[in-house]
Amino acid sequence: DYFWNIPILSFSRRRYTSSNRGYQFSKKHWHNKGMLLNGKNFGEGNYHAQLGHRTIIYGVDQGMRGLCVGEKRRMTMHPDWGYGTRWTDNIPPNSVLVFDVHLLKVERPGDGVESLDEKFEQNGGVTAENKLVLKDLYKKDPELCKMSSGQDDLIYWNYKGKLLDGHVFDQGKFHAKLGHGQVITGVDKAMLGLCVGEKRRMFIHPDWAYGARGVPGKIVPNSILIFDVELLSIEKPDGRRDEIDKHQEFLKKADPDHEKLKIEVTYTVDGDKCDKHTRKGDTF
C-alpha cells in the first residue's frame, strides 16, 4: 500500500511572523481539518491540547511543534503515528491521515499567552472576526453631500497602500464598480458610504486582502494592509453623477494634511541670467 512508502510524518507550512513557537508542554489552540488520502473529510473544528501529554495522537503532537501563532501547516502521517489498525469514526484501519492546521493561540507555562486575535489587535485593531477597521480622516458637511457611494456605483478615488511598518507598496488613482469583485473584499466594503471629497483610512485583515498568497515583491503573505483613500467621483447606475469640485475643495478643506498652496513652474530663467531670487522683504 501507498502509506508504507511515506515517512512517518511529513509536513509543509505557510509562514506568519511570530516569536512564540509551539514547544513541548505548551498548550496550543488551533483550527484543524482532517482528511483521508482520497480527500474525504473526517473532522473539522477548533481544538486545544497540551503538547507532550499524550492527549492527542502522536503524529499531531509532533507535527504541531515549531509553529508560530498564525502559521498554517499540512501534516501527512503514517498510520503508526495516527490511529493504526483500530477503527475510529470515519477512519478505516491503517489509514494515512492528512491534517490542515492553523495555530490560533499558544499558552506556555511561565511565558504567558499569545493569540492570533491579540496579534491583530496590536496591528490596527482588526481580528479574525472583525476584518475591517475604518477611520474617517475627513467628513463632509451632510448638507453638502449630494450622494454617497453604494452598491453598483462606479467610483474613482486616490489611494495610498501601506504595510504596518509604514512601507508604501502602491499609490495612485483607481476606479471600480462596487460589489462586483473588481477590488479586494476589504476595499470593496470600505469604499461604501463615502461622499465625494471625503477621506478614509482602512485597516484590512489578510482574509479580506491578499491572504496567504500575498503579492510577490510587494506584500508578504498574511499582511494586514492600510489604505488611505479620497473619493473623487461617483456615478450611479441611473447615470446621476457627482465629482470633486477642485475650487471649492481647495478653499473649504481644513484638515492639516491639505496643501494650502500649489505651485507649478510654467517658465524658468537660465540660472546664469538670474541675478536675484525673490525673498521676504522684497518689493516688486
Position 111 confidence tier, pLDDT thresholds 50, 70, 90: low
pLDDT of residue 65: 84
Average of pLDDT values for 198-225?
93
Domains and CATH numbers, the chain: 27-110+256-282 (3.10.50.40), 116-246 (3.10.50.40)
C-alpha 19: how far from chain center: 20
The pair phi, psi for residue 156, each rounded to 5°, is -135, 130
CB-based contacts of 93, cutoff 8 Å, min separation 6 = 79, 83, 84, 85, 86, 87
Q: What are the grid coordinates assigned to 4, written together? A: 508504507
CB-based contacts of 135, cutoff 8 Å, min separation 6 = 200, 201, 202, 203
Position 54 confidence tier, pLDDT thresholds 50, 70, 90: confident
What is the pLDDT of the chain when averaged over all its residues?
Answer: 80
Q: What are the grid coordinates assigned to 262, written together? A: 500649489
Statement: residue 32 has pLDDT above 90: no
When mean pLDDT is compared across 104-108, 115-119, 257-261, the lowest value belongs to: 257-261
pLDDT digits over 70-97, tens only? Answer: 778 899 999 999 999 988 888 999 999 9
pLDDT of residue 275: 52
Can you give the C-alpha Rg of the chain in angstroms?
A: 28
pLDDT of residue 190: 97
pLDDT of residue 30: 83
Q: Which residues have a catalytic role annotated?
A: 159, 169-170, 184, 210, 227
